[in-house]
Amino acid sequence: MGLFFGTDGLRGKVNEDLTFGIVYKVGNALSALKDKPTIIIGSDTRISNSYLTLGVASGAISGGAQVIDAGVVPTAGIAFLTKRLKADYGVVISASHNSGEYNGIKVFNSNGYKLSEKEEEKIERCFIHDKTNDFPHIGTYEQDFTLIKQYRDFLIGASENSLKGKTIVLDCAFGAAHRIAPEVFRKLGANVVAANAVDDGLNINNGCGTLYPENLVRRVYRYKADIGFAFDGDADRIIAVDENGRIIDGDMIMCGIAKYLKSKNSLRHDTVVGTSHTNMAIEDNLKANGISMIRTDIGDKYVLAKLLEKNLSLGGEQSGHILLNDTSTSCDGILAAITVANMVISENHPLSSIIDVEPYPQINKNVIVTDQFRIMNSEELLKETMKYNGLLEGKGRLMIRASGTEPKIRIMVESSDKALNESIANSMLKLIKNIDEEV
């Protein structure tokens, strides 16, 4: 990772970590890397998006770029449009699942893939020198809010079946999916119950969406729905709820889709890509069904890199990132939801019987810290982590990692013993807080 870019682009609190000057430099750097590039910009619904969009656009225009502002579009929609329109770059202004005071930038290349770490470092090197073009060689800016229709038509065309007769609840998190997701599912024939489906940048992800699936559970019960889907702010994540109100996370969704694709002979090499965080029960269930799993570091960019390296069809993360590599170049929560709905129609079984894997109990805790580097390099932390992993050997594991998007240390403990998981997690949380408080 570079100085500014983390595991999922550049992110921070608006006007604290993420300023107009920084996003200006990102736009300007893109204009320096290519001569007069075409750049498509989209965003979620945060109130800071116009401010930051204009910052990126101004920097790009000053260097001679041609900027097209597509308005509110899910992240995967910008990846799709960048490739479809043969633009040089796609830029998404979004902080994904974070709350409204945060925002961020994700950049896609001309093929619709997120920039590699090396490409992000090239952008950062351009921060040193601004590129400006003299009149009349400055760039242009235009708005085209109709471009999202091309992405909408792609999503509708991706469905193999009509969803007529199915009641589907959608939690759009007051984000980028608020209009397009209900529209797509209604066009596919579903009876749609749309929640948090208005443009409200102040409340984006606030008590709703993928981080709060219990709200989706209540609505599935209330409306006696067949399925529920929750998205995050930029709709690149998905969490599902089956007809019995069971929460189905990204690991479980990936497992279900993998078996579905294998049954259709559409899972290349009968292998999927998960992460170091993917539940051990998922790997066991896949193996029992003749499917191998490769693990990568946490971060959808690493999952995608392995999919491309190994020429594979499917990857995902527990958080709800699902990569359908034969159809999309980016994590797409709406596309994944359509795929899950099609599984229910094609197999003519309720979702509960299609995705029936039972993950091992897993405890996740986050600790806000002042110095991630010092903590992650603490000998005391390493010693305790090794001790507990020795205790869990063969029946579970402990993972400690630094967040790539927030000032947090993340703790994960997984085993069949829920009480043991909780005890270890609390012990590590206390240790990390003590190390952070040391002068």
The residues annotated with a catalytic role in the active site are: 96
Q: Looking at beta carbons, which pairs linking 19-22 to residues 24 or more positions away fall under 8 Å?
A: 20/51, 20/52, 20/55, 21/55
Between CA 223 and CA 27 the distance in angstroms is 45
Which residues lie closer than 8 Å to 180 by C-beta, 6 or more apart?
A: 74, 77, 148, 151, 152, 155, 334
User: Where is 223: in which H helix or E strand?
Assistant: helix 213-223
The tokens for 173 are 């998190």
Distance from C-alpha of 318 to C-alpha of 320, rounded to nearest angstrom:
5
DSSP 361: P
* 209: region left, alpha or beta (phi > 0 left; psi from -120 to 50 alpha): left
Q: What is the DSSP string of 269-282?
A: GGEEEEETTS-HHH
Q: Which of 300, 318, 298 is nearest to 308 (CA)?
A: 300
Provide the token pair at 133.
Answer: 């073009």
Question: Which stretch of DSSP H or E encloses residue 68?
Answer: strand 66-72
DSSP track, 369-436 = -S-HHHHHT-HHHHHHHHHHHHHHTTTEEEEEEE-SSSSEEEEEEEES-HHHHHHHHHHHHHHHHHHH
Tokens 């009349």 identify what position? 136
User: Residue 220: what residue type?
Assistant: V
With b for 16 or more beta-carbon neighbours within 10 A and e for fewer, the 35-69 pattern comes to eebbbbbbbbbbebbeebbbbbbbbbbbbbbbbbb
Phi/psi for 202 (5° steps) reads -70, -35
